[in-house]
Amino acid sequence: FDVIGKIRQAGVSPVAVDRKGRFFDLTIRGRKTTASDIILFCRQLSSLVKKSFPLSESIILIAADMERFELKEALLEISKSVESGEKFSVAVSRYPNIFPDVLIHLVTSGEQNNDLALSLDTAAELLETEEALHNKLKANILYPLGFIFFTAIVCLAVYFFIFTRLMPILRMTLTGVEEEDVEVSKTLFHSGILGKPFIFWVSIILVGIILVGVIVHFLTRRKRLFQRVLSHLPPIGVVRNQALVIGFLRVMKNMLKAGMPLDTAFKHAGTFLDDRKQKVKTATEILASGQKASQAFESLKIFSASELWLIAAGEKTGNFEDALENIICFRGTELETRIGIFISVIQPFLIFLGGLYVCFVWRTFFGFYVSFAKDIISRM
């Protein structure tokens, strides 16, 4: 039937029409929206807005190039809402599973300040920074974890082979051997399996933990469950929290440059501090009551004395944005140092654990059972 005609009757001018995604679709279009898709959307929309393209038409043009069905469908609905007179921020906020909170808040602030392009560029920059950090950590952790997982699978496969293949052969081999030797051999063989069960159970636990972790990650990635858990772990949490604070400061600096009031900028930028929502609310109330910005920053309990001094000095001299930029530079350097230390420690540590595990597996299977085979041959 005429799909394009029906869409035009609804008052929308379609650029392209695609079939609806299937329940089980392994192509790119059937997968969930990624951070890279959102970054691309922000960059493209910012460019079109800067060139004075109508917002609803710009969204339709971008949606036509999107391969993800989920994102494409959402953008078409958003363009329809914007064309009917609804605010872009309100339309975007209906899809929290696709668009992150920081983008929604930045779009809201951009509309209030009549500078949507700047807000979109800021969102893209912050999402790119967060994605780069995530990819760097993931690349240095997944390799050793994958090595351990593969070794555990091999270990379980060997156990399965022993119980399903080797045991029947053993029974056939011991047929006709003196009864005393049979009992000795069986006892020796079972002591090899049952006497060292920790390898088997360690393999089960490792495979189970990794599989459960992967499943939980994919089921809860929209709710950022892993991010909240990792934020409480000393090594990874410190790195992530440092990155969030830098994002908070960058958003605030850009909003202040665009002329937004400090309390409003603080409220929207506070989206990055997802584990300190109550403190952000308290700090916003401090600013709204007319108190100093240094007091609001101090109430967050995340800035050092020297950083608070810079903020207070910038507030007195009227160079508040420069003070924020200096703190961003200091924290950025510290973040790179922490990431370097973390990567240089965690990856060798995981590889060491994997090597230790392989050593135990080797000694259990290829050490004991070779000796056992020699004993059987000597008795026959």
Q: Which one-letter amino acid corresponds to residue 28?
A: I
The dihedrals phi and psi of 68, each to the nearest 5 degrees, come to -75, 120
CA 316 distance to own-chain centroid: 40
CB 249 within 8 A of CB 328: yes
Pick from 95, 74, 97, 94: which is nearest to 223 by CA? 97
Residue 344 tokens read as: 């240089």
The dihedrals phi and psi of 375, each to the nearest 5 degrees, come to -65, -40
Identify the three-state secondary structure at position 309. Answer: helix
Pick from 154, 145, 146, 150: which is nearest to 200 by CA? 154
Identify the three-state secondary structure at position 228. Answer: helix
Signed CA dihedral, 278, 279, 283, 286: sign only: positive
Instruction: Spell out a b/e string for 310-331, using b for 16 or more CB atoms within 10 Å of the CB, else e.
Output: bbbebbeeeebeebbbbbbeeb
Report the distance separating Cα 238 and Cα 338, nearest Å. Answer: 8
Domains and CATH numbers, the chain: 3-99 (1.20.81.30), 126-380 (no CATH)
pTM: predicted TM-score of the whole model, two decimal places: 0.64
pLDDT tens for the chain, 380 residues long, are 355 555 566 565 555 555 554 444 434 444 577 888 999 999 999 999 998 888 988 999 898 888 888 888 899 999 999 999 899 999 999 988 888 888 888 888 888 878 888 889 888 888 888 788 777 777 777 777 777 778 778 777 777 776 677 666 666 655 554 444 444 444 445 444 444 556 667 777 777 777 777 776 666 555 555 555 655 566 677 777 788 888 888 888 888 887 778 888 888 788 777 677 888 888 888 888 888 888 999 998 889 899 999 999 988 888 888 999 999 999 988 888 887 887 777 778 877 877 777 777 676 666 666 666 666 566 55
